[in-house]
Homo-oligomer: A and B are copies of this chain.
Amino acid sequence: MSVTYPRGFKAAGDHVGLRGKLHPDMAIVRNLGPDSTVAGVFTSNRVFAAPVGWDRKVVAGGRAQAVVINSAIANACTGEQGDRDAAAMAAHLGQVLGVAENECLVCSTGIIGRALNMPKMTAGIDTVAAKLSENGGAEAAEAILTTDTKAKTVTHESTAGWRIGGMAKGAGMLAPALATMIVVLTTDAVGDSATMQTILSQAVDRTFNRLDSDGCMSTNDTVLLLASGASGVKPDPDEFAAALLQVCEDLALQLLRDAEGAHHDIEIRVTGAASEAGALEAARTISRSNLVKTAVYGNDPNWGRILSQLGTVPEDVLPFDPARVDVSINGVKVCKNGGIGEDPYLADMSPRECHILVELHAGQEEAHLWTSDLTHEYVHINGDYTT
């Protein structure tokens, strides 16, 4: 179902020849209204792809009728030609659907620094647009995948009568060989674009932005929310925000669990901090330590690497006394007061989920995020991607 679960949407996906194998490589999602409200959150990378630049303008206008997504080529670092190609994709989609080009969104994912094959792109848009269907959600969710092993979809229905659907690929910060996380959310709720934008930004900040597999930020990361208003119901904002948060959390965990090359899903939780921002920065710093990530891969409760990484967070960001820090791995307090705690080998690291808890005893705030371990498969996938 995915993006066609809410009323007012059609979708389709197909193989249009962008990838060498018989893998579907293009999807279109069409919003049939009556509303064409849109919100979007994009990569904060200063080097962003051409489609991100295009979509930012569309989202600023508050209205979108459709989105086309291709894999294989990211259309990033492609200069003015890339901008022209992104605009041409939107123009062709608008022409085929009979809507304004500045209400057409485009997403690309794949290799950076290569130009799109535009004849294949326009022919592909013709092919996929001809297949648009109210039952096309599952097909579209398949068509946006690259090396994901399974489609990621979600649905939610409110007792008030509105629905949310969604699909995701990736990638993103999880299996960055794929270069990009792309998420398309749909709803038949009624809402203005400013409200939708606020709710979407908050949900993304607490879900997708709390995944950090290798600290690498994509040039193409995109999360879109399209609202058709077809339910005729204007939801309670708090209920809608809670639902959207739940939907994003669901997709984020699906992305994490399908991260290429990962053997462990690692939750890093920092408690007892003076500020949530400081706790989050500490968790992020620990999540980016290759020494921590390889240790978890090796089922090695090497807590010294966690404490060592924690010590690199500047004091103004996160005040704490190293002599008061406790660290637990999967429930075993391996470090007490900054020193030796329980026997680390009591920590069972064989489960896929690994929970690292850092208790600072320096305040009341906390934060957590998820990362993946650093494995041989990660090196293999990322050492031999474009070749």
- Residues of A whose CB lies within 8 Å of any CB of B are 45-48, 74, 76-82, 111-115, 176-177, 214-219, 288-291, 294-295, 297-300, 302-305, 307-313, 315, 322-323, 334-335, 337-340, 344, 374-376, 378-380, 382-387
Contact = CB atoms under 8 A, between A and B. Distances in A.
Nearest to A337: B79
A311 B384 contact: no
A32 B288 CA distance: 45
Given A338-B47, A339-B78, A291 B216 contact: yes
A374 B379 contact: yes
A383 B214 contact: no
A80, A215, A308: residue with the most chain B Cβ atoms closer than 10 Å: A308
Contacts of A311: 45-48, 217, 219
A177 B214 CA distance: 19
A51 to B, nearest CB: 15
Contacts of A80: 339
Given A46-B311, A48-B311, A289-B216, A383 B339 contact: no
A304 B383 contact: no
B339 A304 contact: no
Nearest to A291: B216
A360 to B, nearest CB: 12
A79 B47 contact: no
A295 B45 contact: no
Contacts of A383: 294-295, 297-298, 300, 374
A221 to B, nearest CB: 11
A290 B381 CA distance: 12
A121 B26 CA distance: 66
Given A112-B303, A113-B340, A298-B383, 14 more contacts: A76-B304, A76-B308, A77-B340, A78-B339, A79-B339, A81-B339, A113-B303, A114-B340, A177-B291, A217-B312, A298-B385, A374-B379, A378-B379, A379-B379
Contacts of A308: 45, 47, 76-77, 112, 216-219
Nearest to A115: B340
Given A46-B315, A215-B288, A308-B216, A295 B77 contact: no
A307 B382 contact: no
A215 B287 CA distance: 12
Given A82-B339, A307-B112, A335-B113, A298 B218 contact: no
A115 to B, nearest CB: 7
